[in-house]
Amino acid sequence: MKLKTRNSIVISVSIILVSLLAVSTTIFNARKYYRDSLSNSLVQTTRASKTGIESAINRAYETSLALTSSPVLQRWFKNEDKPGMEEYKSMALEELKGIMTDRGYASSFAANRVTGNFYVGDAFIGTLSASNADDSWFFDALKADKRIMLNLDYNEKLDETMLWVNAQIPGSDGVLGIAGVGMDIDTFVTEFRQNTPSDSSKLWLVDQSGKILLSSEKEAIGKLADDLFTEISPESPLKVAGVLKADSAQPLGHYMITAENIRGTDYSVVLLAYAPDFLPSLMDLGGSSLVAVLILTLIMMVLTYFIMQLTMRPIDHLQSAIADIAEGEGNLKKTLRVTRDEIGGVSKEFNNFIDKLKTIINEIKQSVSDGDELNETLIKATKGTTAAVSEIALNISTINTKIENVDSQISDIMAAVEEISANVASFGNRINDQSAMTEEATASITEITSSLSNMAKVSENKRTTIEELIRVSKKGSEALQNTITVFTNSVMEKMSEITEMNSIIASVAAQTNLLAMNAAIEAAHAGDAGRGFSVVADEIRKLAETTSGSTGNIAQILKDIQAGVSETDKNTRMTAEAFTEIEQESSGVFNAFSEIITSIDELSTGAEEILTAMNSLNNLASEVQTDSSEITNGIALLNDGIRAIQNIFGEITGSINSLKSGADEIDKEMHRTAEITNEFSKEFDNIKIETSKFIT
């Protein structure tokens, strides 16, 4: 590309860029002003949009709280499963129905925590169950930390979706149930659509988790705001939690987002305003300016082209003159025409440069002529040196090969000696291990012998104890047998005597009672004279009856005593049999201990014999270990001598390798020098040819 064309393009592009930058700066500043103004106005729009829903929610809150505070509803729910609650039930259901008819709510409801009964208006709908997923709203509300909350839910029993206000019914023993009102979401959706500032904008009611409870677009209800944010702008990190905390509008793709909290609740109204609906476009702000810039740019490009044509005309003349010198194959006798402008100054300086170049070329020609003879001498010397260095390298390589053979033989001897040393060391280690195992076995046999001695003493003591137990058991059995005989004979004899005396007393009492009756009859015959005797006869009769009753009790007690004596006799005989069994089992244990003591004596004798054999084996292992140590020391001395020889050969090998490496490097460098010399000779010839082309 020619210089004048390039300069024209650069100037034209610069004009275009400056103009576009000025117009763009103006347009973007204007859009920023409009965006800031929109941010402030959106906050006001959001506040205005929440007024209706805020009023409706607060009114529903108040109605639900008043309903749950009703004494009639509380008393009915507390005692619903008890009789006598029909009057309270009727009053409570009338109150629920009145909320729907008088206050304009789509629904009013109450559900009992204990019975699970669910009422809407004055109608019983059914029983709520924790296993039914559709009834989870009720059990979640019972466990909630807050007494009242909003819930968007489709109720299968009612076949409708509503915005429900769920309030806990308080009681002295905890929450009695849930009651509240339901609001038709279609009304709120219509209101949201009316309050949305543009058709592409969106208006939501969200809870703290970001769930959309109401929306100007009905299909968004029930979704999470964060998911819709991601659909709008996948790369944006904006979340609804940040929007709820922000004091101003937040950008999200083409939207501006603001949020306002519903007073007295945990819910907020979120406005997503579609910015292009409110901000003027780039063409609206700067369309005419862009057209003017394009026209001005075209005019400037035309003017720049003609100016550059006039400016670059002397340079064209200079280019033509230099081309004539170049086409002459180095004819330095040609010069440029000198004019009075800046290009003429350049031409004058170029002519001075040609004069100096003539002098330099002449000097180069003379130097080339002198260096031709030196180049031939250098080539011959390089070839002779290369051949000598190659022969030296070959001799060093032969010496190095012989030294490597000797070193290999020494390495084989060293490996054999090390293998012998390793075998001796392994043999010594095995002897050491055997000695250690022998010592451990000796210690174990000693411990076993001691343990057998202790076991013999313990067994002897236990056998003596068992023998004493047999003696005591036998003596106890005999004493218990004597006790049975004495107890049975003596006690039973005394019991017979007491029974006989009790029979006599009973007979005397019966006769006395008969005499008393006869005396009473005689006293009655005597009249007043026998009245005193009648009293005495009556007392005697009472004494006879009391004595007769006592003898009956005594007879019963004697029967119980006789039964107890019989049971005691039975238990005593069983105890005597147990003593006999103990005596027999003790005799068996005594015989077993006698056999154990005999076996322990035999084991002790065997252990002593083993101990003697182990001591002999240990002495032999010590002698073998001493001989093995002497062999190891001798091998170590031999190994040290071989290592010394190997080190000497290693040093010789290292020196030879260093010498060989140096010779190889010299040989390599000489070959490289020869190559460089050849290249230099070629270049020298080229210089001679090229310098000969200059005409001076």
Strand partners, 274: 255
Asked if residue 179 has pLDDT above 90, the reply is yes
Asked if residue 610 has pLDDT above 70, the reply is no
Report the 10 Å Cβ neighbour count for 182: 24
Q: Which of 479-493, 503-517, 567-581 shows the highest mean pLDDT?
A: 503-517
Q: What is the DSSP letter of 133?
A: G
Q: What does the alpha-carbon distance between residue 354 and residue 382 come to, in Å, rounded to a whole number?
A: 40
Residue 436: partners with Cβ closer than 8 Å, 6 or more residues away? none
Q: What does the alpha-carbon distance between residue 137 and residue 128 come to, in Å, rounded to a whole number?
A: 10
Owner of token pair 């000969």 = 692
Owner of token pair 């006769």 = 511
The confidence band for 441, taking pLDDT boundaries of 50, 70 and 90, is: low
pLDDT at 238: 75
- Rounded to the nearest angstrom, the gap between the alpha carbon of residue 118 and the centroid of all alpha carbons in its chain is 43
Asked if residue 220 has pLDDT above 80, the reply is yes
Residue 188: how many CA atoms within 13 Å on its side-chain side?
29
Residues 346 and 322: beta-carbon distance below 8 Å: no
What is the b/e burial string over 498-513, where b = at least 16 CB atoms within 10 angstroms of the residue's CB? eeeebeeebeebeebb
Strand partners, 151: 164
Residue 439: partners with Cβ closer than 8 Å, 6 or more residues away? 618
Both structure tokens of 360:
């330099």
Asked if residue 185 has pLDDT above 70, the reply is yes
pTM greater than the 0.85 cutoff: no
pLDDT at 510: 75
Q: In the chain, what is the greatest distance between 2 CA atoms, to the nearest angstrom? A: 206
Q: Which of 256-260, 297-301, 639-643, 689-693 shows the highest mean pLDDT?
A: 256-260
Average pLDDT (255-261) is 85
The share of the chain scoring above pLDDT 90, in percent, equals 10
Asked if residue 121 has pLDDT above 80, the reply is yes
36, part of any domain: no
Average pLDDT (91-95) is 92
Both structure tokens of 116:
């699970």
Residues 92 and 78: beta-carbon distance below 8 Å: no
Residues 587 and 514: beta-carbon distance below 8 Å: no
The single-letter code of the amino acid at 483 is T
Select the more confidently predicted residue: 124 or 297: 124
Helix (H, G, I), strand (E, B) or coil at 196: coil
Q: Which of 221-230, 283-292, 374-383, 441-450 shows the highest mean pLDDT?
A: 221-230
- What is the domain count for the chain? 1
499, part of any domain: yes
Residue 168: how many CA atoms within 13 Å on its side-chain side?
18
Q: What does the alpha-carbon distance between residue 233 and residue 542 come to, in Å, rounded to a whole number?
A: 117
Per-residue pLDDT tens over the stretch 681-693: 777 677 766 666 5
Q: What does the alpha-carbon distance between residue 96 and residue 67 come to, in Å, rounded to a whole number?
A: 8
Select the more confidently predicted residue: 477 or 261: 261
Question: Mean of the per-residue pLDDT values for the chain?
Answer: 74
Write phi, then psi, for 458 (nearest 5 degrees): -65, -45
Asked if residue 576 has pLDDT above 70, the reply is no
Q: How many residues does the chain have?
A: 696
Check which CATH number belongs to the domain holding 606 and give it.
1.10.287.950
484, part of any domain: yes
pLDDT at 551: 75
Report the 10 Å Cβ neighbour count for 52: 16
502, part of any domain: yes
pLDDT at 624: 60
Q: What does the alpha-carbon distance between residue 2 and residue 315 come to, in Å, rounded to a whole number?
A: 11
pLDDT at 109: 93
Q: What does the alpha-carbon distance between residue 169 and residue 178 come to, in Å, rounded to a whole number?
A: 6
Both structure tokens of 140:
């979640």
Q: What does the alpha-carbon distance between residue 282 and residue 30 come to, in Å, rounded to a whole number?
A: 10
Asked if residue 63 has pLDDT above 90, the reply is yes
Order the strands of the 250-252 sheet from edge to edge: 212-215, 202-206, 268-274, 255-261, 250-252
Q: What does the alpha-carbon distance between residue 665 and residue 389 come to, in Å, rounded to a whole number?
A: 10
Average pLDDT (324-336) is 59
The confidence band for 352, taking pLDDT boundaries of 50, 70 and 90, is: confident
pLDDT at 70: 92
Q: How far apart are the first and last CA of the chain?
A: 34
Asked if residue 1 has pLDDT above 60, the reply is no
153, part of any domain: no
pLDDT at 288: 63
Q: What does the alpha-carbon distance between residue 594 and residue 617 come to, in Å, rounded to a whole number?
A: 36
Q: Which of 186-200, 582-596, 665-679 shows the highest mean pLDDT?
A: 186-200
- Rounded to the nearest angstrom, the gap between the alpha carbon of residue 451 and the centroid of all alpha carbons in its chain is 57
Owner of token pair 């949201």 = 192
Owner of token pair 């306002």 = 260
Select the more confidently predicted residue: 98 or 359: 98
Per-residue pLDDT tens over the stretch 129-169: 999 888 888 999 999 988 998 887 766 655 667 788 999 99
The confidence band for 100, taking pLDDT boundaries of 50, 70 and 90, is: confident
Return the C-alpha torsion angle 560, 564, 566, 572, nearest 10. 180
Asked if residue 92 has pLDDT above 80, the reply is yes
Q: How far is CA 463 from CA 159, 278, 396, 470, 490, in A?
A: 93, 114, 97, 10, 40
- Rounded to the nearest angstrom, the gap between the alpha carbon of residue 664 and the centroid of all alpha carbons in its chain is 64
The share of the chain scoring above pLDDT 70, in percent, equals 58
Residues 676 and 683: beta-carbon distance below 8 Å: no
Per-residue pLDDT tens over the stretch 368-398: 666 666 666 666 766 766 666 677 667 667 7
Encode 466-498 in three state secondary structure: HHHHHHHHHHHHHHHHHHHHHHHHHHHHHHHHH
Q: What does the alpha-carbon distance between residue 503 and residue 548 come to, in Å, rounded to a whole number?
A: 10
573, part of any domain: yes
Q: What is the DSSP letter of 355?
A: H
Residues 50 and 260: beta-carbon distance below 8 Å: yes
pLDDT at 168: 94
Write phi, then psi, for 160 (nearest 5 degrees): -160, 150
Select the more confidently predicted residue: 502 or 87: 87
Residues 330 and 364: beta-carbon distance below 8 Å: no
Both structure tokens of 153:
């839910």
Return the C-alpha torsion angle 398, 399, 405, 408, nearest 10. -130
Helix (H, G, I), strand (E, B) or coil at 247: coil
- Rounded to the nearest angstrom, the gap between the alpha carbon of residue 589 and the centroid of all alpha carbons in its chain is 64
Write phi, then psi, for 131 (nearest 5 degrees): -80, -10
Per-residue pLDDT tens over the stretch 611-670: 676 677 667 667 666 766 776 776 677 667 667 766 765 776 776 677 667 767 777 776
Residue 677: partners with Cβ closer than 8 Å, 6 or more residues away? 375, 378, 379, 382
Q: What does the alpha-carbon distance between residue 198 and residue 196 come to, in Å, rounded to a whole number?
A: 6
Asked if residue 4 has pLDDT above 60, the reply is no
pLDDT at 525: 74
587, part of any domain: yes
601, part of any domain: yes
Asked if residue 9 has pLDDT above 80, the reply is no
Asked if residue 511 has pLDDT above 70, the reply is yes
pLDDT at 148: 92
The confidence band for 69, taking pLDDT boundaries of 50, 70 and 90, is: very high
Residue ranges making up the domain that contains 541: 457-637
CA angle at 492 for the pair 488 and 497, rounded to the nearest 5°: 155
Residues 85 and 74: beta-carbon distance below 8 Å: no
Select the more confidently predicted residue: 37 or 195: 195
Q: What does the alpha-carbon distance between residue 213 and residue 496 come to, in Å, rounded to a whole number?
A: 101
